[in-house]
Structures are given as C-alpha cells and as structure tokens.
Structure 1
Amino acid sequence: MLKGKKLLFVLTMMTGFCLLAGCGKNNKDGKTVIELVQYKPEATSYFEEVEERFNASHDDIELKISSPNDAMTVLKTRFVREDNPDIIGIGGDINYSNFIDADMLMDISDFDGLADIKENYLTICENLKFIPTEGTYSVPYVANAAGILYNRDMFEEHGWTIPETWDELLALCDEIKAEGILPFYMGYKDTWTCLSPWNSAVASLTSSTVCKDVNKGETTFSDQYVQVAEEMKTLLQYGEANPVAYSYNDACTAFAKGESAMYMIGSYAVPQIQSVNPDINIDSFVFPASNNKDDMVLTSGVDLQFCVMEDCPNKEAAYEVLRFLLEDENVQDYIDNQNAVPCKKGDFKLASMLDGMREYLNNGIVTDYQDHFYPSEMAVDALIQTYLLDGDTEAFLKKFDTEWKRYNRDLITKVRKYEQEHSGEEE
C-alpha cells in the first residue's frame, strides 16, 4: 500500500489517467525481467536498439524498454496503481526533485558506475534535492547545452567575431543589423522558448542556488533577477518585429533559411533546424550576459538520467542494465543520435555545433537550467512572455516573488523548518 509522502505525491501530481498493462516482474523462461520506462520518445529508435543488443548478450536478464508519449503522466498514473517499472529515465528537473522528496527512488550510492560520471553533473543532480538528503538517486547519462547558435558561414563571410561580454554582444547585434540582417529570430509564441535566453542569462548573473536561497528567506527574485529581466527586454530590438507572433518551428525554419544570423536556443533545436536545411553550418557560443568574462558559465542540465525505483526487487539486475547503458559504445550512439553531451567521463566525439562550447564542457564550467527549479504550475515561461509584451520590470519581478510563494508554500515551510532544526550544525 502507498503511504504518507508517496500517496500524497501521486495524488497531487497526477495530471491524467492512462490505462496500460504494466510489465510484471516475474521471471520469464528463467530470466529476470527488468522494465525501463524513459521519457524521450524522440530517442525511441536508440532504445529499441539498446534493448535488442542487451537481450542478445544476456542469458539471465530480459530488458523491456518503453518510450511512451507524455511519459511523466504515464509514470504518475502507474505509481497510483502501484505498478512501478524497475528503472525510469527522466530529466534532471523538478519531477526528479519531487520523486526524491516522496521517497520513491532507491539510494544507488553503491552502484560502481557512478565513479565514471563527471563530478559536475553529479553535483547538478545533488543540487536538485529540495533539502539535503543522504544518498545518490540517479545516474546522469547525457546533458544538453544552451546558449547562442550561429550561422558559421554567415559569420565568416562578414568577418564577425564571437562576443565574450554583454557589451560585445550588443555591439555585434548592432553591426549585424546595420548590414540589413536580423541578428536573432526568437519565436516567443511558444512560451517555453522564452526560457532559453532567460536560463542562459541567469547562469552568469546569479548564483546557482538562488531558488534555494529564496526558499530560505535569504533573498528575493526582485533583488536577483533585475539585470536578467532588463537584458531580456533589451534583446527584443534585435529580433523579428513581433516575436510572439512566431513559433519555435517558425524560428527554427527562419534560422535554417538564413533569415537571422543567430538563435538563442539549446543544442536540442539543431535536428529541427537541420530538417529544414541539412547543409546549414551551425556553431554555438556561451551567452555572454556579463561584462566580466570570468562570470561566463554555460547552461548545461542533465537531459536524461536513470533512476532505480525504491521498490525494485531485482537491484543487481537493474545495476547490470545501467552498466550496459554506460558502455562507451552505447553512450556514443546516444550522442550521435541526439546531438547530446555525455555525463560520463571519457573521450567522446561531440557534434560540431558544440565546438564553441567545448572548452566549457570539457572544464566543467557549467550550471543547471534555472527553470529546473520552477514549479510547472507557476508557468514562469508565460510570466516572461507577458513581461516582454508590457516591459514593466518592477511589476514583473514583484509578481514573480508573489507567485513563487503561492506555488512553493509547502516547500518553503519545509525548507525553513529544516534550516531551523539544523541551524547549529556545520555545513
């Protein structure tokens, strides 16, 4: 029976009900069945190949992988029905934080494969915990990176140089605009696209712990986000005349056709862009939000991580699946399939559009996407879009603080209680 925090979580978080037959955990033909449900349907073909290769090479374990659309809704429904898979593949975001808080994930600190994961991505996952919790609950698999994509051929033709400060970025935009070319295509009709430049600016202009600091009562977003908000507004003059009239697909298409020199988006957009223009020569650079070059940090969050469910009855078999997924050949195949960034240490070949970010990736100069800490109910993307339409920075930030308290009331209470109870302990 589900009890306590688990029951409260699944009843609160379930957004729909999907009936599907869950895989049993009984042995089949003498094999232990391990079921993995992962949330990236665009990677279905990769996981089908992994499943086939694993089963062909293992006599004692049968791996079953499913990649449903709207996987988080499917998973939350299954949690209610007490029909948990053995392993889940999810992003490093607030859903992961909620699962830890509800005691639904297994502590896998003893998994030997963790030693092969880059420390900065382990830290990113650790920071997603609402309050300090002993243990490790995920294996970071791949990440993505967000900053500014640019048309390499266009830059070479015009002799434009990559900016390393905020002032240099504005000067570059003015230079591009003076030549009759649109610096950016934005595509803010789809509200989530507003979050890409927002996350990139926040990375260099605020602390990675700002959301936790707000929850502790140590600061406010009105204090921390002023420059971020002002920069977002400033950049509007360098985009299409009405950015909220054009969607993500419109922006990808326009950039692919050379209608803008740059695009403020993550590496995940490249396949969509290349579907329009397979020959486009794309590179990228870190969003230079600060005038201090030393402040520059690349936004790179964990795009896919694997977690073993707390009630998985076949821990060692689940670990064997994780080891297989972490084999270099499989990691490289995923990188090639999805233009991803490996969380595993090693000499992996990255897509060429990440060349301009390679230094930051190799040296671990990365931080998580700030929106991974935002509750989905708060709809921060819509708040940003509305702000960009009316331009009232003070009112926007005041609303941000108000809405944050509204949607994080219980979490804030829990965090401050924890802080009070542990105020005399050394960090």
Structure 2
Amino acid sequence: MQKRALTRRSFLSLSGAIAAGLALTGCEGQRSDGKTEIEFVSYKREAVSIFEALMAEFNESNDHIYLNFTSPNDAVTIMKTRFVREDYPDVVAIGGDASYADFVDSNILADVSGYPGMAKVQPAYQEIMKSVTYVPMDGIYGVPYIANAAGMLYNKDMFAEKGWDLPETWDEFIDLCEKIKAEGEVLPLYLGFLDTWTILSPWNSMLVELVPSDHIRKVNAGEATFADYYREPAEKLLKLLDYAEDGPMAYSYEDACTAFARGQSAMFPCGSFAVPQILSANPEMNIGLFAMPACDDPDDRIIVSGVDLCWNMLTAKEDHREQIYEVIDFLNEPENLQTYCDDQKAIPCIEGDFTLDPLFDDIQSFLDEGKVIDYPDHSYPSGMACDAQLQAFLLEKDVDAFLANWDNLWQRYNKTVIRKYAEYMANQG
C-alpha cells in the first residue's frame, strides 16, 4: 500500500492566509467557559434539523466539549475555501466520493483507522472508503456513518394490484416493461434526464453487474480501455428510452420524482436518496427498491451502495483527536443513528440491531451479505463531465462514437491520476 500522498491539489497550492479568528479566548479551540470547541462542517443540508437537535443534546450533557455543527449551502466549496485560508474545522462531514479522494490526496484528512469505533463499521463500507482513493492507501481517512442505495424504485401498491413480479434478469425486466407498455395505463419508467446527474443512477447500477469492479484501475494502468467494458451497459442504458416518457432530456429530476409520485410510471431508476423528494409530492406512496436486473444470472445482481456521510478529521486538528472521537461516539450511538435513518430513509454503516425503512425490504439480503459496490462514478474526474457525456450519447445514439470519445476524454482529463497510478505501480516493483 502507498503511504500518504505528498502532493496538493491546485485549490490548496495557494499561500495560506492567517486562519480566521474564532470567537474564543485562550488557546485555539478553547472557549471562555473552559470547554473545547469542536467544529463539524457538513454537506448534508437536508439533515440540518437532525444535527442541530443532536448538537443541542450533546452540548447540554457534556461538561468539557462544545459541539459546533453547521451545514452551510455549497458546503464543499466552503470547505475548500477554508482549507486555502488554513482556517480548518475539526471535522468535515462529506460522502465517500471524489471530494473525499481529493482531500485524501491533498494530505488534508487524518488517518482514523485507529478509531476504536471503527470495529463496529461494516467491513463492506470500510472497503468502499479504501476503494475511493485514486491509488491504494494505507489507513482509512473517514469514519463511515450513513449509506444509501441505488437500483430501481417501484410503486409497491401498483405492482401488487397488477400482480407484477419483480424482475431478476435483464430479459425479465424487458418483458415486464413490454407488458406495462402494452397495457398503456402508465409508463414503465420515468427518467427525468434533463438533470444530467440522474443518468448516473441507472448507469452505475448497470456497471456494477456488467463490468469488473476494478475496471477503472485497469484502464488507469493501461491494461484495458473503456471500449472493452462499456458497450453492453451503453446499449442497455439506451434501451431504457423505449419505455420512458417522450423526450426525457426535457424533464428534470424534480419532474421525474413528481411524475412517479403521481403514479404516472411504475418504476423510477434512481436511489434511496430520492425518496424524501418523492414523498413530499405523495406522502402516502408505498415505495420499494429492487436491484437493477441488468445481468442474465440473478446471482450476479449487486446493489450500488455508497457512503453517503462519513466523519473526516483534519490533519491540522489531530491534537483534538480524543475530543473528536468522543463526539463521533455520541453521533454513532444507536438511538441517534436510528433517528437519522428514520428521517432520511438511510442505511447505517454501523453494525447493530437497526430497523430499516420498508423501502429496503427487497434488498435486505444484499445488505446482509455485503453484496454492495460503491458508485463507479465516484472515480470519474469531475472535469470530464461524464454525466453530460452520457446525456449526449443518449441524444446521438451512436455507441461506437460514445466509446471512442469516452476513452479519449478519459486520457485527457485523468492524466494526473494515471500518472499517480503509474508511480504507485512502479513503487510496488
């Protein structure tokens, strides 16, 4: 395994300004009341009320730590700006995604593999945190807290009324779509591909079943091309258009959530993160989630599940490690974690006797068996705008041109990561 990367991303290469002054007295982080202030900055705006309540509960009961938990708009941009100014919070709460990989690569995040509570984190999500980094790394640089899942959302009541079975293979899925289309009462699918990121939901769900889990690292190592892997998922993604609304690129994510909530479609290829939005349009809707049946063998089905929220300690604040761990212990207490899961329709990354929302009934066995893989797009370079490339492909419908363009763009926008991987492999002998 590679040790900590020494390079910094461009947003960290600027000369740091003096840290913004804190409204405290004495040494850094020390309040006038004698408590040590621990600052968490979270990107989960939708959960702000939950964390404000937990912050109040913690501060009322703790006599030596004051928890300051904020969830600003555009939180990741604010985090990066504060890093440039060397105005570091103690913890950033983000997902296990490309931003996490950037922060690890920039030597911003501390290794928390020694956190005692890590033993309670499900191994599958520990592995996901390790897999997100650009090259294999020693350690884990975030404590997984909450996960989500993607696949095919479906209208449980509609399926029960019509007597439709959940498809387990691609052929069964197409047969079901054909049946629903022939009946003509509702659409089989609603897509809402105006917001390009929504295309990544079915794309990710197909990739994890149809291509090797290490395909991106093989491409970065020069051992393969995306054209070797992406033809079948591209063709199947294109096939979804036959069963969806006319001109899905004209309808937004919100449009799709609303249409699905109103019963205009039987299914919606998205994830658990969409359910609160759907329920806002129809609070009584009975929603289920099943694994995307993109494969030919039911045993090859896998759930896309990523770490939606993890606690990441800053290297600049390692002197507060003991206090930070105490706060994380509190947030990870089963009753607090259950509260979050109930409100946000989320999956706990912590092992324990938790009650999941009925939304997850059809994928419970996948979660229990650890048949989960992280979202492949978490390893896509942001500059390449991969979601926009997929939208352009669905408009042009030229698979060969799409594959060639994807490989060309990958080499252009992923040069730094490819170089790092080459250095890593060379160092491994």
- Counterpart in 2 of 1:219? 224
Structure 2 residue matching 1:188: 3-state secondary structure:
coil
Q: What is the aligned counterpart of 1:324 among 324, 330, 353?
A: 330
Superposed, which structure 2 residues align to 1:243-254 within 5 Å? 243-254=248-259
1:411 corresponds to: 417
Q: Partner of 2:87: helix, strand, or coil? A: coil
CA distance in 2, matches of 1:101, 1:276: 41
Match of residue 305 from structure 2 = 300
Q: By how many angstroms is 1:132 displaced?
A: 2.1
1:182 to 165, 184, 187: 187
Deviation at 1:421, TM superposition (A): 2.4
Structure 1 position 354, deviation (Å): 1.4
- Aligned counterpart, 2:129: 125
Aligned position for 2:36: 32
In 1: Cα distance, 2:65 partner to 2:166 partner = 51
Q: Find the counterpart in structure 2 of residue 315 from structure 1.
A: 321
**Counterpart in 2 of 1:393?**
399
Q: 1:246 to 1:93 in 2, by over 3 A?
A: same
SS at match of 2:315: coil
| Counterpart Cα distance in 1 of 2:419 and 2:143 | 29
The answer to whether structure 1 residue 239 and structure 2 residue 244 are counterparts is: yes
The partner residue of 2:76 within 72, 79, 91 is 72
Give, in whole Å, the separation in 1 of the partners of 2:302 and 2:312: 27
For 2:280, the equivalent position in structure 1 comes to 275
Contact 1:23 1:85 in 2 (8 A): no
* Cα distance between partner residues in 2 of 1:11 and 1:238: 48
Whole-Å separation in 2 of the counterparts to 1:47 and 1:211: 36
Conserved 8 A contact 1:114-1:139: yes
Whole-Å separation in 2 of the counterparts to 1:23 and 1:259: 53
1:384 partner amino acid: L
How far the C-alpha of 1:292 sits from its partner, in A, is 1.2
Deviations 1:318-345 (A, max 9, x none): 1101111110011101101211000000
Deviation track 1:157-211 (CA, whole Å, cap 9, x = no partner) reads 1110000000000000001111112100100011111100000000101122211
Q: 1:321 to 1:341 in 2, by over 3 A?
A: same
Is residue 379 of structure 2 the alignment partner of residue 373 of structure 1? Answer: yes
- SS of equivalent residue, structure 2 residue 198: helix
> Does structure 2 conserve the Cα–Cα contact (< 8 Å) formed by 1:118 and 1:345?
yes
- 8 Å contact 2:147–2:309 — kept in the other structure? yes
CA distance in 2, matches of 1:264, 1:416: 36
Q: Is the 8 A contact 1:187 1:193 kept in 2?
A: yes
Letter in 1 for 2:413: Y
Q: CA shift at 1:8, angstroms?
A: 3.7
Deviates more, 1:404-413 or 1:128-137: 128-137
For 2:269, the aligned partner's letter is M
1:281 maps to a residue whose letter is N
Shift, 1:11, TM fit: 4.4
Amino acid across the alignment from 2:122: K
The answer for unaligned runs of 5 or more in structure 2 is none
> Which of 160, 163, 170 is matched with 1:159 structurally?
163
- 1:136-147 to 2 correspondence within 5 Å? 136-147=140-151
For the residue of structure 2 that corresponds to 1:218, the secondary structure is: coil
**SS at the partner of 1:193?**
helix
Cα deviation for residue 22 of structure 1 reads: 5.7
Q: Per the alignment, in what secondary structure is the counterpart of residue 287 of structure 1?
A: coil
Matched residue type, 2:309? L
2:46 matched to 1:54? no
Percent identity, aligned pairs only, is: 49
Contact 1:148 1:264 in 2 (8 A): yes
Partner residue of 1:260?
265
- Residues 356, 218 of structure 1: alpha-carbon distance in 2 compared, 3 angstrom cutoff: same
How far is the alpha carbon of 1:21 from its aligned partner?
Answer: 6.7
- Deviation string, structure 1 residues 404-425 (Cα, Å, up to 9, x no partner): 11111011011112212213xx
Query: With structure 1 as the length reference, what TM-score do the two structures score?
Result: 0.95
Q: Hey, what's the Cα distance between the residues in 2 that align with 1:161 and 1:120? A: 29
CA–CA distance in 2 between the matches of 1:142 and 1:77? Answer: 25
**Letter of the 2:382 counterpart:** S
Q: Are 1:207 and 2:207 an aligned pair?
A: no
Q: State how far apart, in whole Å, the 2-side matches of 1:263 and 1:8 are.
A: 38
Query: Residue 101 of structure 2 is aligned with which of 88, 97, 100?
Result: 97
Structure 1: runs of 5+ lacking an equivalent: none
Query: Quick one: which amino acid aligns to residue 7 of structure 2?
Result: K
Distance 1:186 1:417, change over 3 A: same
Q: Is residue 147–residue 266 contact of structure 1 (8 Å, CA) maintained in 2?
A: yes
Q: CA deviation at 1:57?
A: 1.4
Q: Supply the AA of the counterpart residue of 2:34.
A: G
Q: Which runs of 4+ in 1 moved over 4 A?
A: 19-24
**Rounded Cα–Cα distance in structure 2 between residues aligned with 1:280 and 1:230:** 32
- Aligned AA for 2:322? E
- Contact (CA 8 Å) 1:188, 1:247: kept in 2 or not? yes
CA distance in 2, matches of 1:291, 1:20: 57
Judging changes above 3 Å, is the alpha-carbon distance between structure 1 residues 21 and 188 closer, same or farther for their aligned structure 2 residues? farther
Work out the CA distance in 2 between the residues paired with 1:337 and 1:241: 34
- Once the two structures are TM-superposed, the CA of residue 4 in structure 1 deviates from its matched residue by 6.5
Task: Give the secondary structure class of the aligned counterpart of 1:203.
Answer: helix
Contact 1:22 1:83 in 2 (8 A): no
Q: CA deviation at 1:20?
A: 8.0
